[in-house]
């Protein structure tokens, strides 16, 4: 399917809000613009062949080159591409004979062309150095160009003026091309504004949902015995729900090999898989309180909303890149310079040049990244995950938690006892000699309270294991082996 068609369809069928659609890039119309530019160029006698022939050496030098001297230009309205982004005007530059006004390009012999090309490149390098783009043709002087790097720019200018051939740069302002960019630029502003607004809105939603989740999972405090059973179990459901989410985050991959925002297609796939998982495990229906169920549904809806704006932005970014490529291809004008300036202006919009990796482009990219971080810190963090409270030695929950005081690591008491028994003096994490001096005072009571509050079941289990391990340590393996089992 052609992209233009596909684009229209996506915009029409995905149920995007009206306001968004108004900001969407008008791909069809821009395509028409390109055609117009193309026709206009043809009318000037500049067909594709001539243009591509020209583009070989009408390459722009470094675009950051600042003020230019305009005396060498027969130029209309805006004399030159005098710098970056906002001031950019599409134009075509042709080398013409100053006397006859004939374009020199098409009629030159291959030898002359080669010489001109060499010269042009040479001049461009020079121009970059002295910020002077205007040029006149001069015969190649090997000896001079060889020592050129030592000559001051001034010397160089004077030598240029002795030129025999009389050729100038001419610029042809292209009204229709201007129109193309005039149309495109405000759209980008719109898209950026939309991105900012939607991100803010979603961030607020995330905060609200965070409060809601907090209310339903808050582990029971003293004196609320009646509610205990309910919320305590809901806490575990929520934890499992978030654990699944963290295992395969929907908008942002955190795995070592391919960290980064995901494409819309991939994100959609993940959200569908997540939804399926929730259904299959029946987590949602197991939740006891209506408020909890409501919040869980809200959580899913939020993800759907993010996915939607991501889709919209991604398809727009694609449309933009495509239309600029088309512009380049059809007109051989410097559309890619426009793209480059866009990159500077909206780094979030356009994927960096040469990035072949399939990353979602543009706004979608930054939405995925920002909102992923928001969800993680404002919602998911409310329910602590077991993996974050593991002892770095045995990988089981750090119960009872012991801090050695040298670094922030928290170990389980069993591992510290084992380290002491083995005579391993150094902290496993920071290498300081703190293990041997650890005793009851090193128990981390703050963490202990926290774990008891959020992981009551795990704490119970660990406590039993610890007691058993202590017996083994004190009396030997035999002591704890069951001697008789009642079947």
Which residues of the chain form contacts with other proteins (CB under 8 A)? 255-257, 392-396, 409, 415, 418-419, 422, 424, 426, 428-429, 431
Whichever of 364 and 391 has its CB closer to other proteins, that residue is: 391
Q: Which residues pair with 91 in a beta bridge?
A: 173
- Of 280 and 422, which CB lies nearer to other proteins in the complex structure? 422
| Cα–Cα–Cα angle for 323, 328, 330, rounded to 5 degrees | 90
Smallest gap from Cβ 257 to other proteins, in A, equals: 6
Least distance (Å) between residue 78 CB and other proteins: 48
Q: How far is the CB of 255 from other proteins (least distance, A)?
A: 5
Rounded Cα distance between 306 and 429, Å, is 39
CB of 176 to other proteins, least distance (A): 49
State which residue, 141 or 254, has the beta carbon closest to other proteins: 254
CB–CB of 96/107 below 8 Å?
no
DSSP 350: S
Residue 401 phi/psi, 5-degree rounding, is: -70, 135
Pairing of strands 252-253, 167-173: unpaired
Please say which residue, 111 or 478, places its beta carbon nearer to other proteins: 478
Specify the residue, 143 or 257, whose C-beta has the smaller distance to other proteins: 257
DSSP for 121-139 reads: HHHHHHHHHHT--------
Q: Which is nearer to other proteins, 443 or 472 (CB)?
A: 472
> Would you say 37 or 415 has its CB closer to other proteins?
415
> Nearest distance from residue 348's CB to other proteins, in Å?
28
Q: Which tokens sit at 436?
A: 């041997």
Say how far apart CA 22 and CA 137 lie, in whole Å: 50
- In the numeric block, the tokens 């979602």 are attached to 360
Q: How far is the CB of 431 from other proteins (least distance, A)?
A: 7
**Of the candidates 313, 325, 372, 311, which has an alpha carbon nearest to the alpha carbon of residue 353?**
325
Its sign, for the CA torsion 308, 310, 315, 317, is positive
Going from the C-alpha of 32 to that of each of 2, 10, 40, 176, 216, the distances in angstroms are 15, 20, 12, 10, 55
Q: Which is nearer to other proteins, 83 or 409 (CB)?
A: 409
H-run or E-run covering 94: strand 91-97
């Amino acid at each position: 399917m052609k992209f233009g068609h596909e684009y229209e369809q996506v915009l029409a069928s995905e149920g995007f809000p009206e306001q968004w659609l108004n900001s969407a890039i008008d791909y069809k119309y821009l395509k028409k613009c390109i055609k117009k530019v193309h026709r206009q160029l043809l009318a000037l006698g500049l067909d594709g062949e001539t243009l591509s022939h020209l583009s070989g050496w009408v390459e722009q030098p470094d675009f950051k080159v600042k003020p230019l001297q305009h005396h060498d230009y027969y130029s209309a309205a805006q004399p030159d591409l005098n710098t970056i982004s906002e001031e950019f005007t599409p134009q075509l530059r042709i080398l013409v004979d100053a006397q006859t006004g004939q374009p020199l390009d098409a009629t030159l012999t291959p030898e002359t062309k080669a010489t001109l090309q060499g010269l042009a490149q040479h001049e461009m390098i020079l121009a970059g150095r002295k910020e002077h783009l205007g040029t006149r043709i001069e015969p190649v002087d090997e000896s001079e160009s060889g020592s050129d790097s030592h000559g001051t720019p001034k010397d160089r200018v004077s030598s240029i003026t002795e030129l025999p051939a009389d050729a100038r740069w001419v610029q042809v302002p292209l009204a229709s091309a201007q129109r193309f960019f005039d149309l495109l630029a405000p759209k980008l502003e719109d898209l950026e504004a939309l991105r900012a607004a939607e991100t803010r809105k979603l961030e607020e939603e995330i905060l609200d949902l965070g409060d809601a989740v907090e209310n339903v999972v808050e582990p029971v405090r003293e004196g609320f015995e009646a509610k205990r059973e309910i919320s305590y179990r809901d806490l575990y459901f929520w934890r499992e729900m978030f654990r699944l989410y963290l295992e395969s985050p929907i908008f942002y991959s955190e795995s070592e090999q391919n960290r980064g925002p995901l494409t819309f297609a991939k994100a959609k796939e993940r959200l569908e898989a997540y939804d399926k998982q929730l259904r299959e495990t029946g987590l949602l229906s197991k939740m006891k309180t209506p408020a909890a169920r409501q919040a869980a549904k809200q959580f899913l809806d939020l993800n759907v909303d993010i996915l939607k704006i991501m889709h919209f932005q991604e398809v727009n970014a694609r449309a933009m890149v495509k239309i600029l490529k088309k512009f380049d291809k059809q007109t051989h004008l410097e559309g890619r310079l426009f793209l480059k300036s866009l990159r500077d202006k909206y780094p979030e919009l356009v994927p960096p040049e040469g990035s072949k990796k399939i990353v979602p482009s543009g706004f979608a990219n930054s939405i995925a990244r920002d909102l992923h971080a928001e969800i993680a810190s404002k919602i998911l963090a409310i329910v602590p995950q077991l993996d974050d409270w593991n002892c770095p030695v045995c990988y089981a929950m750090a119960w009872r938690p012991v801090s050695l005081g040298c670094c922030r690591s928290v170990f389980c008491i069993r591992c510290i006892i084992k380290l002491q028994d083995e005579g391993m003096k150094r902290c496993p994490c920071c290498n300081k000699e703190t293990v041997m001096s650890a005793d009851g005072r090193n128990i981390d009571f703050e963490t202990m309270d926290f774990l008891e509050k959020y992981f009551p079941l795990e704490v119970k289990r660990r406590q039993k294991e610890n007691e058993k391990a202590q017996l083994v340590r004190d009396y030997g393996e035999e002591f704890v082996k069951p001697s008789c089992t009642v079947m």
